[in-house]
Structure 1
Amino acid sequence: MAERWKTRPEGSNWGDFGPDDQIGRMNLLTPEIRRKAAEEIREGRAFCLSLPLDYPGSNKLTPYRHPPRFHHARRGPGHNYNYALSDVNEIFSDVISDDAVLLFTQYSTQWDALGHVGSMFDADGDGVAEKVYYNGYRAGVEIVGPDDAPAEDPGAGALGIENLAETAVQGRGVLVDLETPYGRARKMVGYDELMRALEAQGTGVETGDFLCLHTGFAELVLSMNRDPDGEVLANACAVLDGRDEALLRWIDDSGLVAICADNFAVEAYPSRPGETDRYPGLPLHNLCLFRLGIHLGELWNFAELASWLKAAGRSRFFLTAPPLRLPRAVGSPVTPVATV
């Protein structure tokens, strides 16, 4: 710890789970909390919480992220797809198809790894800010990009998504319906608005919970049939106000281990201007990924689950949502499952 950082960000938990911790607040999700979460399974019904991974469609909304692109290996005169094994041995009747895919890990329904967003921060205490990530891991040292030198083995050597995968990601989800009270017009949701929504549902968030936000955004994306309208989406649905200090304090105090939303970024981007000369453009990401080690899920599809829970008078469910166990990746597609 002393070698990686001398000062930690104000309000952070760096070092609290150990000097080399890479899963942050997932440490709070104990076996006992997970066992208790499983008591939410009463009907045995399951809901898929993922969009099709080729949504939102195109790269108009995310110019540096693209839809999946399929490729197929050559085999003989053709490809290893609809390939008849009789071409290898005349007595075989099998037909084989294999896929390869170029997949941008954060294009659609996804988890952010703790290595996804860091900050310029003076971790050495020498008056010079460095590129730093959760628990003091450094850009160019543990999190190595193609522009870092040397970059023989690029990627997140620490804080990669495989660390989250290894926790198995199972626990209690608490779904907050923000669509019913606030509709599908753009609405900045701070502490007061979130508390009113929780109170209206008669529920709360406890240590080890996954906070899940249903705004209607994913349904709007699906209705656009892979041709998203950026202007419409930029002015649609509720979104957390990451500049609301009371909301940030509540996230810290609540003991939640992750926030999962059906929209882009969970919070408003760009956020409201800060009060200092330099501030994070994604203040909630800064709090969660950089300071507290709280994972973020984006573009989840809660529509069917939200409808069922509302009809049943419930807000809680058992969540299973491991990402790909892909070493050195800073994000991952995910197919979350809610079981009620």
Structure 2
Amino acid sequence: MQFKQSPLALCTGALLAGLTLAGTATAETSIERLQQDAPSNWGKWGDNDEVGALNYLGEAEAQQGASAIRSGKTFTLQIPMTSGTGPVFPGRVPTLHFMATDEGVYMAGKAEPLAGGVKYSDDVAFMYLQGTTHVDGLAHAWYGEQVYGGESSKSTVHGHSHADVGAIGEKGIVGRAVLLDVGRHMGSSDLHRLPVDSCIHLDDLQATAEAQGTTVNKRDILVIRTGSIARFWDEEPDAEWSAMNEPGLCYSKELLEWIDAMETPMIAMDNIAVERVVQEIDGETYIIPLHGALMRDMGVVLSEIWWLDDLAADSAEDGQYDFMLVAAPLKMEQGTGSPVNPVAIK
């Protein structure tokens, strides 16, 4: 059955649709205004680039990473993946792990050992790809109608056809990294962690590097410790852990310009979002503005939920805050992010 609309209704609908489309086309969001004169790397590595500032990491940078190795001590920097529990961003659930085959199926007579007597186990997991220590693909966050490089945001529908995390998996991440232990430098004297809701500014990073005697070079990977993520596991926390009140980087043009000048390929941190989730800038409220500035505009790769306490304690003891970093997310084609277990080699 078909219903006919009157000419007046059709005209009114067309007019309203036109006003809506016009409003959509001309409306400018706060982040678009904020980012008008900010650094952008669109087109710097060609129109088809999908790994952004990771292009700064080449053979020379891998050799610089290797030259930072002195003792050969290694640290793995992923948090434990425990079924049903873990720090995740609101809206996600922790990893859920299930056994598909184990001794129970043999005990119940539901399966027989293989020829010769060997048994085996098998398991399956349901997880958000960003539900543990992970690397974000560059198209994970955007504003307006374009993702990194100017590709349409429609490229994210039903899987990323541009700047997915699989491209970073193909590239890999190898280079010299520096640990900036802001939590130890500016935090409490006993737990060496920043208070909740703390903002980390450019001068805090620079002051931390100076206090450590650490030189940050061009194209170094920045690994920044707040000490916050350990709150999730504290039996007697100094403050309740929440993704929404974690300390993190705070937006400033000076920070963006410094990262641009330093040709920083990646920033990794021991919090959920790298930045403080809720920020006030010039009297307006923003949610994760640095994701738009760093990923969408500059192509800087962000990696989150790292475990840095053991590395930081060792660095405080031996005074070495630079190391070789090797990390590779899973080659999840069309994925927005991927788990990773980074390795620091000192």
TM-score, with structure 1 as normaliser: 0.80
- Show the counterpart of 1:67: 94
- Show the counterpart of 1:198: 209
- Show the counterpart of 2:162: 158
Structure 2 CA distance, aligned partners of 1:55 and 1:177?
A: 29
- Structure-to-structure mapping, 1:278-289, within 5 angstroms: 281-289=287-295
Indicate the percent of aligned positions where both proteins have the same amino acid. 29
Shift in Å, 1:224: 5.0
Cα 1:55/1:315, change in 2 over 3 Å: farther
1:100 to 2:108 alignment: no
Shift in Å, 1:280: 5.4
Question: Aligned with 1:255: secondary structure?
Answer: coil
Determine which structure has more spread, i.e. the larger CA radius of gyration: 2
Cα 1:181/1:86, change in 2 over 3 Å: closer
- Show the counterpart of 1:143: 156
1:51 to 79, 83, 100: 79
RMSD, aligned CA:
2.7
C-alpha distance after superposition, 1:78-115 (max 9, x if no partner)? xx333559955774311111111111111221111101
Q: Indicate if the aligned counterparts of 1:185 and 1:235 stay in contact, CA closer than 8 A.
A: no
Question: Aligned with 1:289: secondary structure?
Answer: helix
C-alpha distance after superposition, 1:113-158 (max 9, x if no partner)? 10110111xxxxxxxxxx2100012122x221xxxxxxxxx20111
- Show the counterpart of 2:234: 223
Question: Aligned with 1:175: secondary structure?
Answer: strand
Shift in Å, 1:9: 6.2
Cα 1:328/1:308, change in 2 over 3 Å: same
Report the AA paired with residue 25 of structure 1.
A
- Show the counterpart of 2:27: none
Q: Indicate if the aligned counterparts of 1:86 and 1:92 stay in contact, CA closer than 8 A.
A: no
Shift in Å, 1:321: 1.3
Q: Indicate if the aligned counterparts of 1:116 and 1:330 stay in contact, CA closer than 8 A.
A: yes
Pairs aligned (count): 300
Cα 1:330/1:71, change in 2 over 3 Å: same
Unpaired runs of 5+ in structure 2? Answer: 1-34, 188-193
Structure 2 CA distance, aligned partners of 1:16 and 1:189?
A: 29
- Show the counterpart of 1:262: 270
C-alpha distance after superposition, 1:215-263 (max 9, x if no partner)? 11122223259xx9346x6555x42112x22112111111110000001
Question: Aligned with 1:174: secondary structure?
Answer: strand
- Show the counterpart of 2:253: 245
C-alpha distance after superposition, 1:46-89 (max 9, x if no partner)? 11111112389368x6332111122455xxxxxx3335599557
Cα 1:16/1:315, change in 2 over 3 Å: same
Cα 1:168/1:224, change in 2 over 3 Å: farther
Question: Aligned with 1:63: secondary structure?
Answer: coil
Report the AA paired with residue 328 of structure 1.
Q
Structure 2 CA distance, aligned partners of 1:220 and 1:89?
A: 45
Report the AA paired with residue 256 of structure 2.
L
Shift in Å, 1:317: 0.6
Shift in Å, 1:274: 4.1
Cα 1:26/1:224, change in 2 over 3 Å: farther
Shift in Å, 1:208: 2.3
Structure 1 CA distance, aligned partners of 2:114 and 2:211?
A: 68
Structure 2 CA distance, aligned partners of 1:223 and 1:196?
A: 28
Shift in Å, 1:275: 6.0
Question: Aligned with 2:279: secondary structure?
Answer: coil
Greater per-residue helix proportion:
2
Structure 2 CA distance, aligned partners of 1:224 and 1:56?
A: 18
Unpaired runs of 5+ in structure 1? Answer: 1-7, 74-79, 121-130, 145-153
Shift in Å, 1:23: 0.4
TM-score, with structure 2 as normaliser: 0.79
C-alpha distance after superposition, 1:291-311 (max 9, x if no partner)? 011111111011111111121
Question: Aligned with 2:81: secondary structure?
Answer: coil
Shift in Å, 1:289: 0.6
Cα 1:89/1:324, change in 2 over 3 Å: closer
Report the AA paired with residue 194 of structure 1.
L
Report the AA paired with residue 193 of structure 1.
D
- Show the counterpart of 1:81: 102
1:19 to 2:47 alignment: yes
